[in-house]
Amino acid sequence: MEALYMLIPIAIGVMIVVVIAFIYTVRSGQYDDLEGPAYRILMDDDDPRIPHNHKASLRPAQEQAEKTEHSA
């Protein structure tokens, strides 16, 4: 019975912390778009990560650095 005098305030304190954390996440927009990330993973990216003309887009200094890396 004496443990309840300690456990009840601890439980109330934990509950207050959880409610404050929930209110903070709601105000910061955590729950605004719940379905977007699920659909975004299914969308196909049409843009390649590395362009096909990668060598043409390099600056001359970068080309020289690549040549020295491959020759070493």
Give a yes or no: residue 12 inside a domain: yes
Summarised one tens digit per residue, pLDDT across range 5-29 is 999 999 999 999 999 999 999 999 9
Query: Domain count of the chain?
Result: 1
pTM: 0.49
Give a yes or no: residue 9 inside a domain: yes
Mean pLDDT score across all residues of the chain: 80
Give a yes or no: residue 19 inside a domain: yes
Section 28-52 average pLDDT: 77
Give a yes or no: residue 23 inside a domain: yes
Burial state string for 6-19 with b = 16 or more CB within 10 A and e = fewer than 16? eeeeeeeeeeeeee
Give a yes or no: residue 50 inside a domain: no
CA terminus-to-terminus distance, the chain: 77
